[in-house]
């Protein structure tokens, strides 16, 4: 078996779908374990070998763990020791802990994707762990490039990656919520506010996929002394500090979870 997937929920399922769609691993050489019969059935129809039994995945060349962090010890005990590649799609679980849980002989690569990966427009932070080689990291990066961008970092920075991009979609969704509420307060209907704000956010996001930096795009919209400048004067009083505080809180919580 070339690839074993433990957990094919939203994120694990997105990873496996990307791998299968790109033809990186033949479906017949993929084993899947998930407790949800609907998720198992979905990938059985694609030709994968599915089961509820972790022992069915023993001996895989690459094992991807997309489960809740507190299940790691249970999953590792069920799979048993391995000398092969173990890939984490979990926040807060140190690579050293995974290395030890699987007997101390595996090659660990940690990843932190985000929910836009479900649309193949995500970004994933990747860090090599104990036992891993550059080839291991590149193999995993190739998998996640099917879901969007990839940024390779040191493992010590993965909590920061979690704060910036793993949790990041929530920051933007929350800002959209605030803008919609403010638009309604100005007299727009909720439906019109939602259309205006969400379409603006989506369009602005697309513009940032080009070559121009955000500050360049912002300056093009901002006429000195105009309406945009008046609003930015308000944001500039607090936005940078709030963003720093939010990312620091999220990073520190990720580190705390890793120590539990």
SS (H, E, C) the chain: CCEEEECCCHHHHHHHHHHHHHCCCCHHHEEEECCCHHHHHHHHCCCCEEECCHHHHCCCCEEEECCCHHHHHHHHHHHCCCCCEEEECCCCCCHHHHHHHCCCCCEEEEEECCHHHHHCCEEEEEEECCCCCHHHHHHHHHHHHCCEEEEECCHHHHHHHHHHHHCHHHHHHHHHHHHHHHHHHCCCCHHHHHHHHHHHHHHHHHHCCCCCCHHHHHHHHCCCCCHHHHHHHHHCCCHHHHHHHHHHHHHHHHHHHHHC
Percent of the chain residues topping a pLDDT of 90: 92
Per-residue model confidence as pLDDT tens digits over 168-186: 999 999 999 999 999 999 9
User: Are 108 and 14 found together in one domain?
Assistant: yes
pLDDT confidence of residue 163: 95
Per-residue model confidence as pLDDT tens digits over 32-72: 999 999 999 999 999 999 999 999 998 899 999 999 988 99
User: Are 89 and 193 found together in one domain?
Assistant: no
pLDDT confidence of residue 259: 72
Residues 222-239: what's their mean pLDDT? 96
Per-residue model confidence as pLDDT tens digits over 99-139: 999 999 999 999 999 999 988 999 999 999 999 999 999 99
pLDDT confidence of residue 256: 84
List the CATH number of the domain containing 233: 1.10.3730.10
User: Are 86 and 25 found together in one domain?
Assistant: yes
**Is 254 a residue whose pLDDT tops 90?**
no
Percent of the chain residues topping a pLDDT of 70: 100
How many domains, the chain? 2
Please identify, among 132, 157, 182, the residue that sits at the C-terminal boundary of a domain: 157
Please identify, among 100, 127, 157, the residue that sits at the C-terminal boundary of a domain: 157
User: Are 153 and 174 found together in one domain?
Assistant: no
Q: Is residue 71 part of a domain?
A: yes
Please identify, among 102, 130, 157, the residue that sits at the C-terminal boundary of a domain: 157
User: Are 196 and 73 found together in one domain?
Assistant: no
**Is 258 a residue whose pLDDT tops 80?**
no
User: Are 132 and 174 found together in one domain?
Assistant: no
Q: Is residue 229 part of a domain?
A: yes
User: Are 152 and 183 found together in one domain?
Assistant: no
User: Are 50 and 95 found together in one domain?
Assistant: yes
**Is 198 a residue whose pLDDT tops 90?**
yes
Give the integer Cα–Cα distance in Å for 53 and 57: 8
Q: Is residue 59 part of a domain?
A: yes
User: Are 143 and 55 found together in one domain?
Assistant: yes
List the CATH number of the domain containing 41: 3.40.50.720
**Is 235 a residue whose pLDDT tops 80?**
yes
Phi/psi for 19 (5° steps) reads -60, -45
User: Are 45 and 149 found together in one domain?
Assistant: yes
Q: Is residue 104 part of a domain?
A: yes
Q: Is residue 162 part of a domain?
A: no
pLDDT confidence of residue 149: 95
Q: Is residue 163 part of a domain?
A: no
The pair of structure tokens assigned to 140 is: 């995993």
User: Are 92 and 54 found together in one domain?
Assistant: yes
Q: Are residues 35 and 64 in contact, defined by beta-carbon separation less than 8 angstroms?
A: no
- On average, the pLDDT of the chain sits at 95
Per-residue model confidence as pLDDT tens digits over 4-28: 999 999 899 999 999 999 999 999 9
Residue 224 structural domain: 168-257
User: Are 191 and 139 found together in one domain?
Assistant: no
What CA–CA distances, in Å, run from 189 to 179, 180, 231?
A: 13, 10, 21
pLDDT confidence of residue 94: 92
pLDDT confidence of residue 24: 92
């Amino acid at each position: 078996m070339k690839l074993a997937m433990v957990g094919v929920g939203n994120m694990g399922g997105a990873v496996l779908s990307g791998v299968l769609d790109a033809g990186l691993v033949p479906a017949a050489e993929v084993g899947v374990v998930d407790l949800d019969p609907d998720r198992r059935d979905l990938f059985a129809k694609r030709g994968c070998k599915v089961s509820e039994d972790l022992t069915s995945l023993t001996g895989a060349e690459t094992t991807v763990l997309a489960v809740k962090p507190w299940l790691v010890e249970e999953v590792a005990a069920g799979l048993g020791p391995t000398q092969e590649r173990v890939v984490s799609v979990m926040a807060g679980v140190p690579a050293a802990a995974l290395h030890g849980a699987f007997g101390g002989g595996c090659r660990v690569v940690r990843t932190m994707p985000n929910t836009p990966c479900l649309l193949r427009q995500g970004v994933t932070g990747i860090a090599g762990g104990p036992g891993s080689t550059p080839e291991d990291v590149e193999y995993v990066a190739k998998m996640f490039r099917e879901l969007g961008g990839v940024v390779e970092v040191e493992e010590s920075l993965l909590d920061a990656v979690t704060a910036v991009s793993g949790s990041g979609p929530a920051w933007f969704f929350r800002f959209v919520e605030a803008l919609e509420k403010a638009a309604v307060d100005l007299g727009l209907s909720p439906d019109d506010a939602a259309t205006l704000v969400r379409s603006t956010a989506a369009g602005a996001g697309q513009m940032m996929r080009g070559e121009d930096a955000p500050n360049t795009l912002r300056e093009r919209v901002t006429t000195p002394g105009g309406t945009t400048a008046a609003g930015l004067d308000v944001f500039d009083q607090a936005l940078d500090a709030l963003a720093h505080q939010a990312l620091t809180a999220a990073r520190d919580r990720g580190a705390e979870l890793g120590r539990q």
